[in-house]
């Protein structure tokens, strides 16, 4: 039962990672950071990195992989936001 819950938890984290993908595509398509909170997405990215470290200490592969997937997708949003914000501020 413990393994089943771990797998479901890992799948939930992967689904969580997929929730950031539409935002990343929207940023990429619109080429603007307007309306995106850098504090929010940056904060999510930091929490996901902490989750990965916690997973390593707990030897929890589901947590590590799920948080890594979330960090990849959320981190993409964070980095695109920073990129477009810097570009906008330099042009302005």
Mean pLDDT, residues 4-27 taken together:
90
Task: Categorize the per-residue pLDDT at 6 as very low, low, confident or very high, splitting at 50, 70 and 90.
Answer: confident
**Which pLDDT tens digit goes with each residue over 73-82?**
999 999 999 9
**Which pLDDT tens digit goes with each residue over 40-60?**
999 999 999 999 999 999 999
Calpha distance 45→61 (Å, rounded): 19
Q: What is the model's pLDDT at position 3?
A: 83
User: What dihedral do alpha carbons 84, 86, 88, 92 form, nearest 10°?
Assistant: 180
**Which pLDDT tens digit goes with each residue over 19-42?**
999 999 999 999 999 999 999 999
20 contacts 74 by C-beta, under 8 angstroms? yes
Q: DSSP letter at 1?
A: -
Sign of CA dihedral 51, 20, 3, 5: positive
- CATH code, 2-91: 1.20.1280.290
Q: DSSP letter at 20?
A: T
Calpha distance 8→30 (Å, rounded): 35
């Amino acid at each position: 039962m413990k393994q089943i819950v771990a797998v479901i938890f890992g799948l939930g984290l992967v689904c969580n990672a997929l929730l950031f993908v539409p935002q990343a595509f929207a940023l990429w398509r619109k080429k603007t950071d307007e309306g995106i909170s850098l504090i929010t997405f940056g904060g999510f990215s930091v929490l996901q990195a902490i989750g990965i470290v916690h997973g390593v200490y707990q030897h929890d592969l589901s947590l590590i992989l799920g948080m890594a997937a979330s960090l990849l997708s959320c981190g993409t949003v964070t980095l695109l936001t920073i990129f477009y914000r810097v570009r906008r501020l330099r042009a302005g």
